[in-house]
Amino acid sequence: METLLTAFQLPDLESRFQARIDAEDKIEPKDWMPEEYRKTLIRQISQHAHSEVVGMLPEGNWVTRAPSLKRKAVLLAKIQDEAGHGLYLYSACETLGVSRDQLIDELHSGKAKYSSIFNYPTLNWADIGAIGWLVDGAAIMNQIPLCRASFGPYSRAMIRVCKEESFHQRQGYEIMLTLSKGSKEQKAMAQDALNRWWWPSLMMFGPSDQDSKHSAQSMKWKIKRFSNDELRQRFVDMTVPQAELIGLKVPDDQLKWNEERRSYDFGEIPWDEFWNVVNGNGPCNKKRLADRVNAHNEGKWVREAAEAFAKKQAQRTDSKLKSN
Ligand code: FAQ
């Protein structure tokens, strides 16, 4: 009987759900939602959380070698921000009925994805500038529309994330500006970093629209507001003039302003490289995962201590309440 009822009710529930989305209502964790919507959100939000946390590794590599105390302090603060973003996102994901342990297990077993960009090495200080400028720049371009995602906890988390990412982008650009105004060698370092990070940054937006299997449904559900190619194009249009302003050359011979479209035409993305990295065979995939697993294992005593402390506090509050 229950199955029959569900079968009759489902189309009605689904159309009411879509009507709420179309009316720009926010969906909250306890609202009815199609199972596929829930799964899509868990997939995207957890991949996003993993990216923030794995994304700390290439930058963490430079904390001890930052060129001044000021640069070290700024870099440390940025890396802590990324950890915070991971935490908001894991929390948003948990409201969908999945545990953080489960999500972390999926990352550590290699089942869950994280952004391809964090599988590239940071070879010198200019790479830290390029990550802030390009990687955070691409992240903001992708994430500003997510502030309007239909799922309430995700959209609210993204508002704070975007504010912090925009500071990150500016500090990265400022590093690149300083290097470009420096010695011949420093300018060459900045150009070399741009050469290596340009194409991987464009890949952050995901496969081309024709190969993106989730975009159409995610856009109908207003999780995504723009397609991968649309956001990539906006990023190119925003970033090319920034490169020109500091005297750097974007490494793309086919890059050309298109007056008719009022936008840049650009070359073909090396998709083989993208899929290779996504499938676990990029230059640093194995190292990144091993470093995450190690950090998690080494942090076991911290989690246990925090849990014991929280339990003790709860017991104290309990006995205070009883004695009052
Ligand atoms: N890397 O059908 P679509 C940051 C996968 S945060 C790896 O187009 P969708 C902050 C995709 O998951 C950066 N995998 O998928 C920071 C799917 O695989 P699946 C992270 C990728 O979801 C800065 C398959 O390909 N940002 O940088 C990638 O509709 C500096 C088919 O793709 C977010 O996660 C990729 N680049 O669109 C931290 C933003 N692209 O799951 C430290 C939220 C695609 O079927 C330092 N996410 N795949 O096995 C999104 O907006 C979307 O998920 C997309 C992909 C646009 C990434």
Q: Is 156 in the pocket of ligand 1 (CB under 6 A)?
A: no
Q: Is 282 in the pocket of ligand 1 (CB under 6 A)?
A: no
- What is the DSSP secondary-structure string of 23-62? TTPPB-TTS---HHHHHHHHHHHHHHHHHHHHTHHHHHTT
48 lines ligand 1 (CB under 6 A): yes
Q: Which two three-digit tokens encode residue 176?
A: 């690149």
CA-based max dimension of the chain: 78
Looking at the predicted structure, is the pLDDT value of residue 276 above 90? yes
Q: Are 196 and 120 in contact (CB under 8 A)?
A: yes
Ligand 1 in reach of 206 Cβ (< 6 A): yes
Q: What is the pLDDT of residues 185-194, one digit of tens each?
A: 999 999 999 9
Q: Convert the pLDDT of each residue in 62-71 to its tens digit.
A: 999 999 999 9
pLDDT digits (tens, 9 = 90+) for 36-76: 999 999 999 999 999 999 999 999 999 999 999 999 999 99
58 lines ligand 1 (CB under 6 A): no
The pLDDT tens digits for 76-134 are 999 999 999 999 999 999 999 999 999 999 999 999 999 999 999 999 999 999 999 99
Residue nearest ligand 1's atom 51 by CA? 142
Ligand 1 centroid to 206 CA: how many Å?
6
Q: How confident is the model at residue 8 (pLDDT cuts 50, 70, 90)?
A: low
In short, whether 46's Cβ falls inside 6 Å of ligand 1 is no
Pocket test for ligand 1, best of 41, 115, 160, 269 (most atoms within 8 A of CB): 115
| Among protein residues, the one whose CA lies closest to atom 36 of ligand 1 | 204
